[in-house]
Structure 1
Amino acid sequence: MTTPVRLLIHGASGRMGQALLRLATERPGLQVVAAVQRKVDQRVLDGVPHFASSELAAAPAFDVAIDFSLPEAFDPVLALCAERGSAFVSGTTGLSGAQREALETASARIPLLWASNFSLGVAILDELVERAAAALPGWDCDIVESHHTRKKDAPSGTALSLGAAAERNGATPRYASIRAGDIVGEHLVQFSGAGERIELVHRATNRDIFARGALHAAARLAGRPPGAYRLRDVL
């Protein structure tokens, strides 16, 4: 019998954390051994031990941490993974330059995957943006992202990642952000030339797609050599 991949869910009280806890039970080969959140009201919920953020160091052994939290909670969980040699999957956005450098440093010790978006569709969109930018030199590139009113960072991490894909092939993206209602996530990448334009769009209507993508990444990342992986590397 194959030993299950042991997961620590960091940011367990958030929307993504709750989706991860719910959907992990549906995927064979994964076992949530700890859920970490800012404060704890109930120590064990649905068979999963819960820990406050201040108790992170007391979490049991785990193979992969999945982190969907806030930048101010990011550093301790990355440091714990590096200390224990556990893989790290993160979708926390709004990271500082120093935190991105910490990711790069940690990738020499552990396998890690940071992505602004864990949907398969966005991984494909990223490739399409690269191709369009290469094929359309000199065209204007504009990225419009829309999210719910509670999202703090703007432009979104996904928009910035798509912009980086365009920049790799010579485009200079401009950004616009919309915060309205309960929009899960919409990203429009527009290339405009004289008399014509191309629009590449991804719309997410259910947050579960991101949780399923993160769980898939965790299952595929466990046991890999140290390094910084992309979502497309583990699809």
Structure 2
Amino acid sequence: MKKILLFIAALIIVGVLAQQFGWVHFLTDVQSLRQVLEDFGWWGYLIFILLSILVAVFLLPGQFLAIVGGLVYGGFLGGALTVIGASIGATISFILGKYIARDYVLKKFGNSETFKKIEKGVKENGVSFLIFTRLVPVFPYAIQSYAYAMTPMTVKKFSLISFLTMLPASFIYAFMASEIATKGVSIKLLFEFTIAGILLALLAYLPKKFSHKINRLTKEYKKND
């Protein structure tokens, strides 16, 4: 109970501070965020990673962070920093939901359709469902970590899969943002966007494809055994 109360208090404090000092607006203002990170130099790397962690843990609107990373640091470094921060933030959220604030999370979100669908998806498809929802944002991304914390999935498995499945989108968004900033919008860039979208769609299809094969092989093994 003490842990739950501390967690609730932390959420309330951060939420109030975010509104009071304009942090929510700041995180969604790409130009301002870019300027601040540039002014900090090397320290900006740590600040960017910390922002990514805070966004994940406190469910703040950080959908532009990968874009900011690409604008400020370029496609490769911006994508790498985004993956590092988002992965750490997702893992912390998962641990908080599973071991510290489980009762609060269940009370707050347990009856939501997102939680119910994720629970059902993991039960029926296992890890492949996590891979699919990480590659394709069919559910609000920030809340997924807390939702998966309610399933039997381990921290190690969740962290590793989250990291690997964050790589494509993070680098694609950062790269595209960098390209727009340096070269502007062009036919070539639109073509690259199309190719990137097709690749992400194919990546999202793979877990389902492999899941069917694994289930079939498992059934055959049990039958022969």
| TM-score, structure 2 normalization | 0.28
Task: Give 1 or 2: higher strand fraction.
Answer: 1
Larger radius of gyration: 2
- The structure with higher relative contact order (CA 8 Å, sep 6+) is 2
Task: Give 1 or 2: higher helix fraction.
Answer: 2
